[in-house]
Amino acid sequence: MSAQPTPLAIVGVGKIARDQHIPTIAASDAFTLAATVTRHNTLPDVPNYGSIAELVAGQPKVRAIAICTPPRGRIALIRDAVAHGLDILLEKPPAATVTEAEAIVAAIAGSDSVLHVTWHSREAAAVEPARAWLQDRRIARVTVSWREDVRVWHPGQEWIWEPGIGVFDPGINALSILTRILPHPLSLARATLAFPANKAAPIAADLVLDDGTDAAIAVGFDFDQRGPQTWDIAIQTDDGVLTLTAGGSAMAVDGVTQAVPDEPEYARLYARFAELIATRQSDTDLQPFRLVADAYLLGVRREVAAFDWNG
């Protein structure tokens, strides 16, 4: 007899919850959407609560939550969830600051809760095949081009321009893939950040990363890309060129398309969460987030034209 799906609540019902989490949970055998915790954007026919404490009181069978709120202030949600013994899936980015992200990880340590700090792009179909292909090859050059239009992916969402976010909201997806597939740890060598005159977060960034070898690693992010959107990584090795396209969903070697699993990344993300719950283990990797923080520490700032949502 198969196990019953775990009742789960979504905390924060915004665009990412509607676009990805809700349909993924609906198609999952491991989870069922039992409730929401949100002050806005409630769902029809799904009970909603104003806090995690109210959720637990009203839905005692709920044993897991997916936190999909904007990153600022998540530590309070984590502490409430831990106090009530809930397992937690945390949408990226994990927090607004490294200090808060580390406090989130510390809150889990010694508790009975499971925490999955998610990087959904790591679950893209070609990421694990790429990682396996690169293991025994010497890397000479890595070029990342991650360019999309904020107007399309975050229409009118002013929180995306809070300090520390901006272009790094999509850009951290590329960093999460790099830190997974490259065989050596990465550090930031230098960065240039382009800030609109009227915003507190960058709209573009260029990073140079160091993996402790002589590999040249150049990363380019743009949040003002008109026309085709690109999420591409090219890796030149001593045994061919690996390319990841479509955000890590497709892979080629020397221009020849490679077979990859046919499964959506959020389905894989929730399958991973189910596995962590079953084994009572947490996944709390913060490497991509630390690289973003380092970019703010070392980045040379330049001002560009003011951003216009209708521009």
Which pLDDT belongs to residue 1? Answer: 36
CATH 3.40.50.720 domain position(s) in the chain: 6-117
DSSP 137: S
pTM of the predicted structure, to 2 decimals:
0.94
Count CB neighbours of 132 within 10 A.
10
Q: Does domain 121-263+293-304 have CATH number 3.60.20.10?
A: no
Q: Is 92 a catalytic residue?
A: yes
Q: In Å, what is the CA distance from 274 to each residue of 29, 50, 182, 194?
A: 10, 26, 26, 40
CATH 3.30.360.10 domain position(s) in the chain: 121-263+293-304
Q: In Å, what is the CA distance from 55 to each residue of 32, 60, 81, 164?
A: 15, 8, 10, 31
Contact between 95 and 101 (Cβ < 8 Å): yes
Rounded distance, CA 68 to CA 54, Å? Answer: 18
Reported CATH class of domain 6-117: alpha beta
| Cis-peptide into 93, omega within 30 deg | yes
Rounded distance, CA 193 to CA 206, Å? Answer: 7
Query: Catalytic pick from 15, 61, 92, 199?
Result: 92
User: Would you give per-residue pLDDT tens digits along the chain (311 residues)?
Assistant: 357 999 999 999 999 999 999 999 999 999 999 999 998 878 999 999 999 999 999 999 999 999 999 999 999 999 999 999 999 999 999 999 999 999 999 999 989 999 999 999 999 999 999 999 999 999 999 999 999 999 999 999 999 999 999 999 999 999 999 999 999 999 999 999 999 999 999 999 999 999 999 999 999 999 999 999 999 999 999 999 999 999 999 999 999 999 999 999 999 999 999 999 999 999 999 999 999 999 999 999 999 999 999 98
